């Protein structure tokens, strides 16, 4: 690889870092709009993200991003650190955010001449003995928003990894021509990185325990033997890539000691969590409503009430049944600790608490709570929101649209001739088509959009702050691209299309909006399918 091409790849990489950081700024502003209970923490988060954006943009000469970032910094500096932004500051911020959004538009908002996946942060590297399958995979991955590259030799792969650490590598066990030469290549590559690259191994010939153990020890997350079709591989690649950043845990701390509360806030922020601190137990209901915590830390003994009493009040609200409650107290009597936990607590930490112990406990409880919540609100096949939670989110977005006087669109999607797909290729292939459309939608829609599976082959999409014409254009572009995607079915491939109906909220209840979107969907079916219809207001 020449010096010029290396420099060009490096330049493209850092340009993507700028646009990725811009997305972080936009997402933070979205959190500020939807989470008024934690202004001070979110102000600092927006300030830090914007400063990093300006540094990146100035370094790589992306003038529009730098100018928008500086405008945001100016507005944030006019914002008092301990209160919500006033009307003038909020207007100034919104203008700067709009300018940044225009500089960081997704492909569907821009001309068709631009590359469709320019915001993907890092590549997927493919090292397969079968070059035809590698090229086929690259074409499929591009449809899902991934940037992938295939390599013919271990030397080329090594050079590429030295230039740019990939998000994941798909590796043939025998890549290079000899037994386990692919594994040996990965062992050498992993020595260069502090954190290992997730590896997906494939083998047509060797599935022995010895080979599997060696592959696992050098970062192998998956081992396919015999080899699988591209559809399954793409699903696994999507699992081990990090296009969607993990949201920090929202932790509510109630402790009547201001010094202890401040210490907790410092520890939590240092660990990357979002903390909301209150010292008066009478403020607990307001804090629950405005902050919506994922984890709650309670002091055991406070003036006027105990942590156990507060825990019982919290558990009386259905939406906080599964939120972990952790007691923090100097109480060392194990009997009293167990009694406290029987009244709604999940864990008990004794003061003084080791910060590492605290953070480890919060991560363990937070992961489990999110997993349980996902089981309740997400569809098991696709990972999208289920029917019930999608309708709940629609109600929430209607309230927000009314408060902010913003547009809102709701879309319904139905896969065309899906019964024929099941009858022709079987239900497992039909399930894979459903998963491929869910991945396609997640890759191409904004983080602020909500995607749900309504049931069967039907999907629902909530598009906040979106005009009907923009919603139609975005979904139409997705429809066209999805129709080009080759769906694998053994030795055969086929194409699938979908029909869509879009309704714009017209100051009506959610069930009426759903009915209008549903009628627009049926109009698309009546018009011959494979189209997007906009409902009449």
Question: 142 is written with which tokens?
Answer: 């591009």
Q: What is the pLDDT of residue 246?
A: 65
Please list, in sequence order, all residues whose beta carbon lies within 8 angstroms of the beta carbon of residue 372, skipping any fewer than 6 positions away: 322
Q: What is the pLDDT of residue 297?
A: 92
Lowest mean pLDDT, pick from 18-22, 134-138, 218-222, 491-495: 18-22
CATH of domain 3-109: 1.20.120
Q: Other CB atoms closer than 10 Å to residue 58's CB: what's the count?
A: 15
CATH topology of domain 124-239: Rossmann fold (3.40.50)
Quote the pTM value.
0.59
Q: Which H or E run contains 503?
A: strand 498-504
CATH of domain 387-534: 3.30.70.270
Question: 253 pLDDT exceeds 90?
Answer: yes
- Which residues of the chain are in CATH 1.20.120 domains? 3-109
Lowest mean pLDDT, pick from 10-14, 239-243, 256-260, 330-334: 10-14
User: CA 351, 352, 357, 360 torsion: positive or negative?
Assistant: positive
Question: 530 pLDDT exceeds 90?
Answer: yes
Q: How far apart, in Å, are the Cα atoms of 35 and each of 29, 250, 287, 290, 367? A: 10, 11, 11, 7, 21
- In contact, 489 and 425? CB cutoff 8 Å: yes
Q: What is the pLDDT of residue 308?
A: 86
For 290-329, how does the pLDDT look when each residue is reduced to its tens digit (9 = 90+)? 888 999 999 888 888 888 888 888 988 888 888 999 988 7
Question: 87 pLDDT exceeds 80?
Answer: no
Lowest mean pLDDT, pick from 218-227, 228-237, 377-386, 436-445: 228-237
E strands along 54-140, which residues? 124-127
Per-residue pLDDT, averaged over 320-343, amounts to 79
Annotated catalytic residue within 167, 222, 294, 457: 457
Distance CA 471, CA 462 (A): 10
Distance CA 373, CA 377 (A): 6
Nearest residue to 85 (alpha-carbon basis) of 43, 41, 34: 43
Q: How far apart, in Å, are the Cα atoms of 217 and each of 210, 413, 508? A: 11, 43, 57
- In contact, 250 and 276? CB cutoff 8 Å: yes
- Which residues of the chain are in CATH 3.40.50.2300 domains? 124-239, 250-376
**Cα first-last separation, the chain:** 57
Q: How far apart, in Å, are the Cα atoms of 201 and each of 61, 206, 356? A: 39, 11, 35
Q: Render the burial of 386-425: b for 16+ CB within 10 Å, e for the rest.
A: beebbbbbbeebbeebeeeeebbbbbbbbbbebeebbeeb
Q: Which H or E run contains 83?
A: none
Among this protein's residues, is 508 annotated catalytic?
A: no
The crossing angle, in degrees rounded to 10, of helices 87-103 and 63-77 is 170
E strands along 83-229, which residues? 124-127, 148-150, 168-172, 199-202, 220-224
- Which residues of the chain are in CATH 3.30.70.270 domains? 387-534
- In contact, 402 and 507? CB cutoff 8 Å: yes
Distance CA 76, CA 89 (A): 8
Q: What is the pLDDT of residue 107?
A: 38
> Would you say domain 250-376 falls under CATH 3.40.190.120?
no
For 423-471, how does the pLDDT look when each residue is reduced to its tens digit (9 = 90+)? 999 998 999 899 989 988 988 888 889 999 998 899 999 999 999 999 9
Q: How confident is the model at residue 122 (pLDDT cuts 50, 70, 90)?
A: low
Q: What is the pLDDT of residue 108?
A: 37
* Summary mean pLDDT of the chain: 83
Q: How confident is the model at residue 350 (pLDDT cuts 50, 70, 90)?
A: confident
Q: How far is CA 166 from the centre of its chain?
A: 19
Q: What is the pLDDT of residue 12?
A: 60
Lowest mean pLDDT, pick from 179-183, 230-234, 357-361, 453-457: 230-234
Lowest mean pLDDT, pick from 100-109, 336-345, 456-465: 100-109
Q: What is the pLDDT of residue 111?
A: 37
- In contact, 412 and 459? CB cutoff 8 Å: yes
What is the DSSP annotation of 413-449? EEETTHHHHHHHH-HHHHHHHHHHHHHHHHHHS-TTS
């Amino acid at each position: 690889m020449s010096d010029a091409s290396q420099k060009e790849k490096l330049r493209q990489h850092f340009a993507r870092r700028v646009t990725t950081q811009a997305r972080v700024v936009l997402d933070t502003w979205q959190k500020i709009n939807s989470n008024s209970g934690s202004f001070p923490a979110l102000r600092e988060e927006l300030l830090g993200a914007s400063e990093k954006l300006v540094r990146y943009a100035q370094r790589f000469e992306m003038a529009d991003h730098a100018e928008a970032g500086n405008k945001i910094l100016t507005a944030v500096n006019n914002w008092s650190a301990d209160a919500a932004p006033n009307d003038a500051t909020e207007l100034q911020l919104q203008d700067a955010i709009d300018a940044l959004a225009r500089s960081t538009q997704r492909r569907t908002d821009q001309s068709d001449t631009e590359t469709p996946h320019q915001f993907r942060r890092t590549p997927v590297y493919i090292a397969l003995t079968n070059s035809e399958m590698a090229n086929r995979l690259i074409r499929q991955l591009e449809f899902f928003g991934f940037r992938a590259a295939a390599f013919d030799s271990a030397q080329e792969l090594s050079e590429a990894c030295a230039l740019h650490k990939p998000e994941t590598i798909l590796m043939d066990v025998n890549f290079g021509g000899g037994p386990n030469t692919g594994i040996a290549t990965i062992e050498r590559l992993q020595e260069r990185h502090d954190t290992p690259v997730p590896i997906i191994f494939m083998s047509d010939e060797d599935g022995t325990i010895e080979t599997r153990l060696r592959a696992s020890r050098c970062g192998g997350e998956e081992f396919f033997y015999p080899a699988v079709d591209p559809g399954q591989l793409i699903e696994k690649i999507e699992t081990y890539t990090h296009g969607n950043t993990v949201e920090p845990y929202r932790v509510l701390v109630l402790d009547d000691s201001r010094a202890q509360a401040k210490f907790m806030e410092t520890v939590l922020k240092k660990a990357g969590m979002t903390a909301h601190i209150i010292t008066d137990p009478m403020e607990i209901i307001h804090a629950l409503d405005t902050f919506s915590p994922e984890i709650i830390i309670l002091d055991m003994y406070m003036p006027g009430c105990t942590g156990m009493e507060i825990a019982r009040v919290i558990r009386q609200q259905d939406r906080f049944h599964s939120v972990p409650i952790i007691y923090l107290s100097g109480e060392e009597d194990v009997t009293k600790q167990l009694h406290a936990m029987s009244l709604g607590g999940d864990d008990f930490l004794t003061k003084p608490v080791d910060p590492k112990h605290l953070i480890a406990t919060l991560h363990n409880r937070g992961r489990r709570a999110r997993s349980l919540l996902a089981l309740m609100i997400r569809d098991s096949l696709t990972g999208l929101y289920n029917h019930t939670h999608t309708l709940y989110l629609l109600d929430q977005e209607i309230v927000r649209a009314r408060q902010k006087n913003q547009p809102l669109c709701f879309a319904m999607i139905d896969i065309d001739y899906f019964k024929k797909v099941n009858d022709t290729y079987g239900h497992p292939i039909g399930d894979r088509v459903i998963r491929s459309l869910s991945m396609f939608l997640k890759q191409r829609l904004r983080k602020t959009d909500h995607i749900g599976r309504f049931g069967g082959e039907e999907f629902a999409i909530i598009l906040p702050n979106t005009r009907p014409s923009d919603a139609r254009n975005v979904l139409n572009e997705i429809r066209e691209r999805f129709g080009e995607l080759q769906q694998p079915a053994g030795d055969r491939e086929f194409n699938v299309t979908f029909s869509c109906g879009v309704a714009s909220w017209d100051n009506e209840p959610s069930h009426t909006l759903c009915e209008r979107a549903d009628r627009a969907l049926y109009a698309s079916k009546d018009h011959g399918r494979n189209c997007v219809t906009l409902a009449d207001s």
